[in-house]
A and B are shown apart, each in its own frame.
Chain A
Amino acid sequence: MEWIPLIASTLRLVDLHDSDRAYGNPPNYTRESRTGNSDGVYLDIALHVVHRLKLLDQSASQDYLPFTVIFNAIHEDRPDAAEVDVQYVLNVLRRPSELFYLTSVAGHQAKVCHSEKRETALIEKTDYADEYRLSASGRMLLSLANVARDATYLRGDAYNLLHAIEFYDFPKILTFSDGIISQLRNEILEVRSALERVGRTESIDKYLNRLDQYKQVIEETIGIAQKAEAQLEKSEVLEAFERWQELADLDITFEHLRNQINHVRQVLVIFNRLLSELVSLALQGARSAVPPPSFVDVAAHFVRSPLKLGKEGFLLAQWGALSLETPFHSSLDGLGAVKLRTLAESVPAMTFVDETVEPISVLGKARFLEKHGHDIASALKVGPLRLSEAIERGWFMVDEEMMLGDLVGIFVAPSSIPIESSILIGVSPTLDTKAAGDGELLFTDIEITAVEKT
Chain B
Amino acid sequence: MNNSDMGRVHAYLLRHRFIETKSGRRNVSREEREIATLLRDADFAMRRQFEEILDGQGLQLVAFTSFDVKGIASGATVFMLARKPDSAPPFWGTERLVSRMLQVRGINNDAEAKTWFTQLWFVLLDLLYTRKNRSPNAMQDWVDTTFTKEVFIDAVKDYLNDQVRKIDPGTLEVDQVYKTLTSLKTGAEAQVCNAFLELMLDAGLIEEVNKDAYRQSLLFAYEMKTNFDRQLAHLLPSLDQLAAATEILVERTEEETEAK
Contact = CB atoms under 8 A, between A and B. Distances in A.
Interface stretch (B41-49, B62-70, B186-194): B62-70
A189 B202 contact: no
Interface in B217-237: 223, 225, 227, 229, 231-232, 235-237
Contacts of B88: 314, 317-318
Interface in A385-409: none
Interface string B112-151: 0011011101110110011001111111110110111001
Given A63-B70, A304-B246, A322-B93, A294 B139 contact: no
A129 B146 contact: yes
B174 A270 contact: no
Contacts of B177: 302-303, 306
A332 B252 CA distance: 52
B148 A128 contact: yes
B135 A290 contact: yes
B241 to A, nearest CB: 9
B93 A302 contact: no
Interface stretch (A14-22, A87-95, A191-199, A249-257): A191-199
Contacts, number: 261
A197 B139 CA distance: 9
B156 to A, nearest CB: 10
A193 B138 contact: yes
Contacts of A59: 24, 73-74
Interface residues of A, number: 69
Given A193-B140, A295-B125, A324-B17, A126 B178 contact: no
Nearest to B147: A128
B147 A292 contact: no
Interface residues of B, number: 99
Given A295-B129, A324-B17, A129 B213 contact: yes
B139 A196 contact: yes
Nearest to B246: A301
Contacts of B25: 60, 63
A330 to B, nearest CB: 3
A60 B71 contact: yes
Contacts of B257: 198, 291
Contacts of A330: 7-8, 11-12, 15
Given A298-B122, A322-B203, A326-B93, A303 B164 contact: yes
A324 B8 contact: no
Contacts of B114: 312-313, 316
Contacts of A316: 94, 97, 114, 117-118
B176 to A, nearest CB: 6
A168 interface: no
B137 A321 contact: no
B240 interface: no
A185 B64 CA distance: 13
A354 interface: no
Q: Which of A198, A294, A312, A328 has the most CB of B within 10 A?
A: A294
Contact of A321 (B123, B147, B205, B246): B205
18 contacts: A59-B24, A59-B73, A62-B71, A63-B71, A128-B213, A198-B133, A198-B134, A290-B135, A290-B137, A294-B126, A294-B252, A304-B245, A316-B97, A317-B94, A318-B85, A323-B95, A324-B14, A324-B59
Interface of A: 56, 58-64, 66, 126-131, 182, 185, 188-189, 192-193, 196-198, 267, 270, 288-307, 311-333
